[in-house]
């Protein structure tokens, strides 16, 4: 896991490559709003990966994240580079990268901090099973 305060910023050669996966790279707040609205309209749960291209853990998890985006097409996979969108990322209280948020109807339903592949896969599989094809039930809190 990479901590954010005082973190060194990578140069443009450090951009993360998602290797042809179905990952939408968010370049602006407007881009984020558009993708989340699209997921909501399509009844998809969005998985948002807030990462830093300068973080070595991101290089390990990115190919896995891209692979999952192809395995679970019923979800929308987003990637946000916290170094490029600092103000937007700070509004999500990102303290370490990678941080994954799971959003249904634009609201956070789960979160994972760190590059833990088994836990990420478990959470993605769980939300994929609760996606748009599953019956919608109200869950008491």
Total structural domains within the chain: 1
Indicate whether 33 belongs to any domain. Answer: yes
CATH number of the domain encompassing residue 69 = 3.40.30.10
Indicate whether 11 belongs to any domain. Answer: no
Indicate whether 139 belongs to any domain. Answer: no
pLDDT > 90: percent of the chain = 67
pLDDT value, residue 134: 41
Q: Is the pTM of this model over 0.85?
A: no
Indicate whether 9 belongs to any domain. Answer: no
**pLDDT digits over 50-80, tens only?**
999 888 887 889 999 999 999 999 999 999 9
pLDDT value, residue 141: 40
Residues spanned by the domain of 59: 19-129
Q: CA-to-CA distance for 48 and 113, rounded, in angstroms?
A: 12
Indicate whether 14 belongs to any domain. Answer: no
Q: Which of 52, 115, 61, 44 is nearest to 83 (CA)?
A: 52
């Amino acid at each position: 896991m990479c901590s954010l305060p005082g973190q060194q910023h990578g140069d443009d050669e450090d951009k993360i490559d998602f290797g042809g996966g179905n990952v939408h790279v968010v370049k602006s707040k407007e881009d984020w709003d558009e993708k989340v609205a699209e997921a909501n309209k399509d009844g998809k749960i969005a998985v948002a990966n807030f990462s830093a291209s300068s973080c070595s853990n991101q290089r390990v998890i990115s190919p896995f994240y891209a692979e999952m985006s192809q395995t679970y097409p019923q979800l929308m996979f987003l990637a946000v580079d916290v170094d490029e969108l600092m103000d937007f990322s700070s509004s999500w209280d990102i303290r370490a990268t990678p941080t994954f948020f799971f959003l249904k109807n634009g609201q956070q339903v789960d979160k994972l901090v760190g590059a833990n592949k088994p836990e990420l896969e478990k959470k993605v599989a769980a939300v994929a099973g609760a996606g748009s094809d599953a019956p919608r039930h109200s869950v008491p809190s």
